[in-house]
Amino acid sequence: MKEVFIPEYLAKDKSTLKELLTDMQYHVTQENGTEPPFSGEYCNNFDKGVYVDVTTGEPLFQSGDKFRSDYGWASFSKPISPDVIREKTDSSMGLERTEVRSRSGDCHLGHVFNDGPKDSGGLRYCINSASIRFIPYDMLDHERRYSNLKVLFE
């Protein structure tokens, strides 16, 4: 895996996020919600590009690590860098799970499970589309601070 410099991304206050995000995005990212399965915009997107935190723009995942799963949410084998996510124990819903949160925005992204593709490390980052935004590879130069991520695709 190529090393990529990830600049600092700043979190916004809740009132600003309430204005900027859709109701579903706010519910998922700020209230630890979950979008209905198979309803997310990126569940079946396999175009080349980068997925960023919808609240801060921080790069989180790249399309080369995305895979098809039958669970109903976007699935990735790993983040762009282990530093861009935080994991925490989640005992809600009577289950012991590992929640995945973004580093800079501290927003709820989804959960990570140990049932991913073995040849990619065995992890499945199950991510709500409402918590991320997709930037196509061809647009990385046009979006602020993302041209350095092209190295991920070499």
Q: What pLDDT is stored for residue 10 in this prediction?
A: 87
Q: Looking at residue 16, what DSSP letter applies?
A: H
Q: How far apart are the first and last CA of the chain?
A: 10
Q: Catalytic residue numbers?
A: 126
What's the confidence (pLDDT) of residue 143?
A: 80
Domains of the chain with bracketed CATH: 14-148 (2.170.150.20)
DSSP letter, residue 147: G
Q: Which residue has the tokens 């935004």?
A: 133
In this prediction, the residues of the chain whose per-residue pLDDT falls under 50 are 1
pLDDT of residue 145: 81
3-state secondary structure labels for all residues of 22-89: CHHHHHHHHHCCCCCCCCCCCCCCCCCEEEEECCCCCEEEEHHHEECCCCCCEEECCCCCHHHEEEEE
